[in-house]
Amino acid sequence: MSGISTVLWDVGGVLLTNGWDRQQCDAVAPRFGLDAAVFEHRHAEVADAWEKDEISIDQYLLHTVFFEPRNFTQAEFLAAMRGESGMLADSALGILRGLAASDELVLATVNNESRAMNEYRLATFGLPEWLDAFFSSCYVGLRKPDRKIYQLALDVLESDPDETVFIDDREENTAAAAALGMHAIRYEGSVQLAAKLAEMNLLKSG
């Protein structure tokens, strides 16, 4: 396959661990003595708005944690949230670096993340070194799998769907990209992704 000009990447579940998903919530809440069910319910009430940057980190924490007095601070809780971020055990970051080194492709993220977590993760793990643009939900006010976030990335990057690869670990997100005509790859590990990209002549096989 030839003619691919753009590769769009999810971050959590492909390059890094998820930023602040259920697994991370479940890990942090008990350490601060929070009722996990209550926290999960209150998080669900505002998660969409938080990831679209319609509410701030202070507003998010006030709703989910500090709606009653606590014996810890917002800064302490936020530090624990950020501490859950790490390199994915089977990360595609090495593949991203390899594609970036060729300087022949436009590489960008399309990811759902709040501003407080997204900017921390980008800076901490050095992702701007290898990526050209960031279509994060907190910047564009849209979340996957809304087709408009994919279309926005295509429009801004001036990339046709059939020239674009989209990589994500969640089926609903790859399905939405495929519906627009993109080459959608559901991430199942670095070996699988490398093989898929080799089939597209974007990486050398073997």
pLDDT tens for each residue of 13-53: 999 999 999 899 999 999 999 999 999 999 999 999 999 99
Domains of the chain, residue spans: 6-18+87-199, 22-83
- Model confidence over 104-153: pLDDT tens digits? 999 999 999 999 999 999 999 999 999 999 999 999 999 999 999 999 99
Give residue-wise pLDDT tens across range 65-82: 999 999 999 999 999 999
Instruction: Taking residues 78-97, report their average pLDDT.
Output: 97
State which CATH number among 3.40.1360.10, 3.30.420.480, 3.40.50.300, 3.40.50.1000 fits the domain covering 6-18+87-199: 3.40.50.1000
| Amino acid 59: pLDDT | 98
At 167-177, the pLDDT tens digits run 999 999 999 99
172 burial type by CB count under 10 A (0-12 exposed, 13-18 middle, 19+ buried): exposed
pLDDT at 1 over 60: no
Q: Which pLDDT score, from 0 to 100, does residue 205 have?
A: 65
In angstroms, the CA 36 to CA 107 distance is 37
DSSP for 26-89, written as a single string: HHHGGGGT--HHHHHHHHHHHHHHHHTTSS-HHHHHHHHTTTS--SS-HHHHHHHHHHT--B-T
Q: How many CB atoms lie within 10 A of CB 111?
A: 30
Residue 200 burial (C-beta neighbours within 10 Å; 0-12, 13-18, 19+): middle
Mean pLDDT of 3-17: 97
pLDDT of residue 94 exceeding 90, the answer is: yes
Q: Are 111 and 11 in contact (CB under 8 A)?
A: yes
Q: How much is the pLDDT for 103? A: 86
For 6, the token pair is 């753009």
Say whether pLDDT at 9 is over 70.
yes
> How does residue 2 score in pLDDT terms, banded at 50, 70 and 90?
low
Q: Tell me, what's the pLDDT at 14?
A: 98
Instruction: Measure the N-to-C terminal CA separation of the chain; round to a whole number of Å.
Output: 17
Give the global pTM: 0.95
**Check: CATH 1.20.120.1630 for 22-83?**
no
